[in-house]
């Protein structure tokens, strides 16, 4: 079975101080740590359980800037193929 999980790169906000930039339309990204969106992380965990039970492979995909590669690596570290 081929499983595909879409994941999104989001700032880790639990301990970060989020500030709005001067334009008022975005956040100041300096010094932020990024992770996988919580809902996407649950989807990946479920895919891992299905893979363990049924076999197959898991592919994670994302869209974004070059920095999104780190998010894909997080998905690989969790057990995707």
Q: Mind listing the pLDDT tens digit for each residue in 32-79?
A: 889 999 999 999 999 999 999 999 999 999 999 898 999 999 999 999
Q: What pLDDT was estimated at residue 18?
A: 87
3-class SS letters over 13-67: CCCCCCCECCCCCCECCCCCCEEECHHHHHHHHHHHHHHHHHCCEEEEECCCCHH
CA angle (52, 6, 56) in 5-degree steps: 25
Q: What pLDDT was estimated at residue 4?
A: 98
Q: Which one-letter DSSP state was computed for residue 10?
A: E
Q: Mind listing the pLDDT tens digit for each residue in 9-42?
A: 999 888 788 889 999 998 898 888 899 999 999 9
Q: What global pTM score does this model have? A: 0.83
The whole-angstrom separation of Cα 22 and Cα 60 is 35
């Amino acid at each position: 079975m081929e499983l595909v999980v879409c994941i999104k790169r989001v700032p880790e906000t639990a301990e970060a101080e989020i500030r709005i930039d001067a334009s008022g339309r975005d956040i100041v990204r300096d010094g932020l740590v990024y992770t996988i969106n919580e809902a996407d992380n649950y989807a990946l965990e479920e895919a891992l359980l299905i893979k363990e039970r049924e076999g197959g492979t898991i592919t994670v995909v994302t869209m974004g800037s070059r920095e999104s590669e780190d998010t894909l690596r997080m998905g690989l570290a969790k057990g995707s193929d």
